[in-house]
Amino acid sequence: MKNMSKNLILTLLLAIGFLSGMNAQSDLEINKVFDQYGRQKGSVLVEMSREMLEGYDFTYYKSIVTTNNQEAADLARRCLEIDQKDAKKVKQVVSNGVLSSIYLQLPQKGEYFRLVLFNETTTPERKMTLIYIESEKDSEEILKIVLKKR
Amino acid sequence: MQEAEKLIERYYEGETSVAEENLLCEYLSGKNVPARFEAEKAILGYFASEKKKKSVWLIPNNLKWIASAAAVAAIFLAILFSNQPSATSYAYVDGKKITDKDKIFALAQTTVGNLMSGMNEVEIGLENIQSGQTIESQLDVFAGMEF
């Protein structure tokens, strides 16, 4: 009985550890970009979850914009290379051999459709934008909504 | 009676088993116990009452584990709920945390705008190539040259 209870508690503790460290995009490489550069000077990090996005088409939103941070942009590109392996590439622009834009539809995670959008502009300044979106709506529909905002 | 005396003797010698001590306790706590057994009655009665007191306050082992599991489950739920949206909506600008809803929304809109303007630049470039403008403008460089 004691052993059984100990095992139960151990399992629960492991579950706690797992869930507490689990975020929406925690299984993705791009998470490193948010973690490493999100709170630095010259960066703008935004995270919004379901409660705040009520009435919108997204259930989760996370983005980062870095200005004149080549290192962050390069890390994002390396991470995207890994994350795009199982993803559907909607759009990709490569300028002078360097990825400047990409839209990725990631594999569905549970009931959520996931999108990653990346863009880097070099003029007037080097600005990298990386967005991760989760939605209960189909990724293509979400992409249309985002693009419509233009 | 003789049996009781023998048991008491063995009790003092420390030779009685638990079952025998229980038997002795039962006898001594009963009615019509001779006065000469008062001392033994007091001793065994004291220990018996102590045992009873302890058993009243003892929490069964099962209950302890259930309580521990319940406590862990409570912590688990607390962490789970603390991960809910209200706790994870924020923004950081130059390392400074922002929790104001309107400001967070405004920053998100600007971010999406950034992305779209970046894509616009690329698309304009692509459209130019498609319409031949880029090629024409590049050929213009050679327009004034004499052969």
- Do B107 and B65 belong together in one domain? no
- Do B118 and B79 belong together in one domain? no
User: What is the domain partition of chain A in residue ranges?
Assistant: 25-148
Confirm whether pTM is higher than 0.80.
Answer: no
Tell me if A27 sits within 8 A of A112, measured CB to CB. no
Higher pLDDT, B138 or A144: A144
Q: What is the pLDDT of residues B50-109, one digit of tens each?
A: 555 555 556 666 777 777 777 777 776 666 555 444 457 899 999 999 999 889 989 988
pLDDT at residue B147 above 60?
A: no
- Do B107 and B133 belong together in one domain? yes
Q: Nearest-CA neighbor of B51 among B4, B6, B18, B10? A: B18
- Do B105 and B121 belong together in one domain? yes
Q: Which CATH architecture has domain A25-148?
A: 3-Layer(aba) Sandwich (3.40)
For tokens 């052993």, name the residue.
A3
Distance from CA of A85 to the nearest CA of B (A): 22
- Do B52 and B9 belong together in one domain? yes
- Do B53 and B68 belong together in one domain? no
Comparing CB atoms, the residue among B104, B112, B114 nearest residue A127 is B114
Q: What is the pLDDT of residues A62-107, one digit of tens each?
A: 999 999 999 999 999 999 999 998 898 888 888 888 999 999 999 8
What integer pLDDT is reported at residue A75 of this predicted model? 96
ipTM at complex level = 0.79
Contacts of A122 in chain B (CB under 8 A): none
Residues 42-71 of A with CB under 8 A from B: 42-53, 61, 63, 65
Per-residue H/E/C for chain B: CHHHHHHHHHHHHCCCCHHHHHHHHHHHHCCCCCHHHHHHHHHHHHHHHHHHHHHHHCCCHHHHHHHHHHHHHHHHHHHHHHCCHHHCCEEEECCEEECCHHHHHHHHHHHHHHHHHHHHHHHHHHHHHHHCHHHHHHHHCCCCCCC
What integer pLDDT is reported at residue B118 of this predicted model? 67
B32 touching chain A per CB within 8 A = no
Q: State which residues form the domain around B79.
A: 61-88
Phi, psi for residue B56 in degrees, rounded to 5? -65, -40
